Each structure stands twice: as C-alpha cells, then as structure tokens.
C-alpha cells in the first residue's frame, strides 16, 4: 500500500483533491481548496431529465479540480478511458509505480458504506492507494479508515452510464508550485463565487435562484401525486442541505472556514468578520433543514407551512445578498 495520509472531509471532490495535493507536498486545507476553486454556488433546476425540481449548492463536478489546477499552478494528469478494461489497466499501471490515483465512481457501489447511505450518484471521487490481490485499497473521505473494494465492483462503478457518467476518469497530481500566489488565488476564488451568486443574469441561479426556490416551493403540492410524495420531496431539502457532502448548512460552514483561514493568512479582519457572519448564516440554513425534516415527517404540509418555508428561504437570500456584496467589495482590494 502506498503511504498516504487518509483523512475524512466534508465533500468528496474537494477532499480528494486536497489529499492529492497534500501527498504531492502542498500543505493546504479542504476549506482553502473549496474557496479558491469558487466551489460555492446555488441553482434551482427543473429539467426534463429530472423527476422533480431540485437545487444544487456547489459548482459542477470537476470544476474544483480544474480551478485549483489553474489558480495554484498545479500539474495534474487526467485520463479518461471509456473501455472498462483499459481504464482498470491504466489505474493498475500507476499503482504499480506507487502513485495514488483519484477516480470518479458511482457512489452506490461503495460497498464499505452502509446500504442505507448509498444512492446512485456518478460524480463521487475517491483515492485509490494500493491493491491487495483482487481488492483495491480505498481512501474515501466519507469513511473513517482505509476501505477495500473488489476489482469487479470498482470496474462497474467506473463504467456506469447516465448523468455525469465516470467514463473511467482518473487523475493524479504530478507536481505542485512551490511559489504559490495564495493572495491571487484567494482573490480569484472569491470573485468567481461572488459573480455566480450576484451577477449571473438568470432567475434560477445565485441569490435570485434562492428567491426563486422559495417562490417555487409553495407550488410543489401541484407537482406531487399525494401527501406522501410531497413529504418525501420536502424532506429531500434536508438531505441536500445536510447529508450530501456539504459539511452542513449547504456548504456555508465550509465556506466560512475558508473565509476565516483566508482572513488569517492575509491579515484581513474584514474577511474574518464575514466568516463569522457566514457561519451564522449556515446556522440559519440548518434551521431550515430541521424545519423541513419536522414538517415532512409530521405531514404538516399545509399552505401556511409552505409559506413559512418560503419566507425562511427568502430571508437567506436577503442575508446572502448583503454578505456577498460586501465580500465582492473586499475582494477588489485584496
């Protein structure tokens, strides 16, 4: 097994990228990776390919890696093999050279995790750090220790079809920049996040998207078959905010940690102050999570409750608009 520092993390992609960077010799935290990459986002989507409207809280899968590569001057070797056998051969070749490899998989097939926690999601990232017979040794940020996965299962997980299909994708860091411009990287990451939260001229993205989400949630009963269906969809708000690798509060706690670390690194008290506000904002998103979990479980889903939920979401939009406008002004002068 390759000597590799295994750590749990808030989010799979930022955690996997951070572990790769640390292994290559760059001391950097997951919150810093997440913030530099402009990972925070909001979008409310109703698409023909989706059974029900949903919302997302982070940038597109893969963007954390590409943004870090650009802003930190990191060399990353990426490979994609649609042929499952070639994909596994490429992985084995690197492991034989004692190179840890990050791979994209369908989360459902991570059999070391409890069955109730697994669902089909094609953009989960893990690090492969060795092979023992027919088993691969896995560093998964959602699991407390090194795990094992048999070769047949890993092969399936890397070759499934559907949205964000892995297509045998893998990457590994080949070199890091010893003279990283952290100030420039932090500034670029903050400005990107502020742009997507404040300036994108689409009603379903950023702060406008949060308001749009609040408006639309009151009409969800019209989209549901019955009360049980509505209850399920309302409780999914809790799952998305808290349980899907967000670190809690819809990534707001993770972003607050980034702002705090950036403030300390750049000796900027304004960033530290906004970190505290973002942490409090995360607490309020968590209150929304608890609210939807309660009304969903109790089937207390009358129009008055959904209006209350709408108002809670609208208040988050108001607060975040103020936070990100001030953050954008700070970033201009970093």
Residue 279 CA, chain-centre distance (Å), reads 17
Residue 255 has pLDDT above 90, yes or no: yes
**CATH code for 12-36+75-175?**
3.90.70.10
Mean pLDDT along residues 118-139? 95
Arithmetic mean of pLDDT over the chain: 95
**What confidence tens digit (pLDDT) does each residue in 27-86 have?**
999 999 999 999 999 999 998 878 899 999 999 999 999 999 999 999 999 999 999 999
Token pair of 264, please? Answer: 């300390």
Mean pLDDT along residues 279-289? 97
CA atoms of 155 and 153, how far apart (whole Å)? 5
pLDDT band for position 116 (cuts 50, 70, 90) = confident
Closest CA to 21 of 59, 62, 71, 76: 76
Residue 172 has pLDDT above 90, yes or no: yes
The pTM of this model reads 0.94
CA atoms of 117 and 262, how far apart (whole Å)? 33
Mean pLDDT along residues 132-154? 96
CA quadruple 13, 19, 22, 24: dihedral, nearest 10: -90
Closest CA to 212 of 314, 301, 312: 314
Specify the pLDDT at position 128. 98
Q: How far is CA 178 from CA 25, 73, 127, 172, 244, in A?
A: 9, 9, 23, 18, 33
Q: Which residue has tokens 């995790």?
A: 113
**What confidence tens digit (pLDDT) does each residue in 40-49 have?**
999 999 988 7
Mean pLDDT along residues 264-292? 97
pLDDT band for position 159 (cuts 50, 70, 90) = very high
Specify the pLDDT at position 4. 94
Domain with CATH 3.90.70.10 in the chain: 12-36+75-175
In this structure, the strands spanning 124-132 and 101-105 are antiparallel
Specify the pLDDT at position 117. 86
């Amino acid at each position: 097994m390759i000597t590799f520092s295994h750590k749990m993390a808030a989010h799979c992609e930022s955690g996997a990228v951070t572990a790769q960077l640390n292994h290559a010799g760059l001391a950097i935290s997951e919150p810093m990776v997440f913030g530099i990459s402009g990972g925070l986002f909001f979008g409310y989507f109703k698409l023909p390919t989706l059974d029900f409207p949903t919302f997302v809280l982070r940038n597109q899968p893969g963007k954390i890696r590409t943004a870090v590569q650009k802003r930190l001057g990191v060399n990353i070797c990426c490979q994609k093999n649609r042929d499952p056998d070639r994909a596994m051969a490429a992985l084995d070749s690197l492991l034989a050279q004692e190179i840890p490899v990050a791979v994209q998989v369908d989360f459902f097939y991570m059999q070391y995790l409890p069955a109730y926690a697994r669902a089909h999601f094609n953009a989960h990232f893990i690090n492969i750090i060795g092979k023992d017979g027919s088993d691969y040794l896995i560093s998964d940020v959602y699991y407390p220790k090194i795990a094992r996965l048999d070769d047949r299962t890993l092969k399936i997980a890397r070759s499934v079809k559907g949205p964000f299909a892995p297509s045998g994708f893998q990457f590994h860091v080949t070199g890091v920049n010893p003279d990283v411009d952290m100030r420039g990287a932090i500034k670029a990451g903050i400005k990107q996040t502020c742009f997507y939260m404040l300036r994108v001229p689409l009603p379903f993205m950023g702060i406008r998207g949060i308001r749009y989400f609040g408006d639309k949630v009151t009409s969800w009963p019209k989209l549901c078959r019955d009360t049980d269906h509505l209850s399920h969809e309302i409780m999914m708000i809790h799952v998305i905010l808290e349980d899907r690798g967000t670190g809690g509060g819809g990534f707001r706690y993770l972003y607050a940690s980034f702002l705090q670390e950036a403030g300390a690194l750049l000796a900027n008290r304004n960033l530290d102050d906004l970190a505290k506000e973002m942490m409090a904002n995360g607490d309020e998103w968590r209150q929304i999570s608890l609210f939807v979990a309660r009304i969903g479980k109790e089937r207390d889903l009358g129009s008055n409750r959904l209006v209350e939920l709408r108002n809670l979401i609208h208040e988050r939009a108001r607060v975040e608009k103020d936070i990100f406008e001030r953050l954008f002004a700070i970033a201009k002068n970093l």
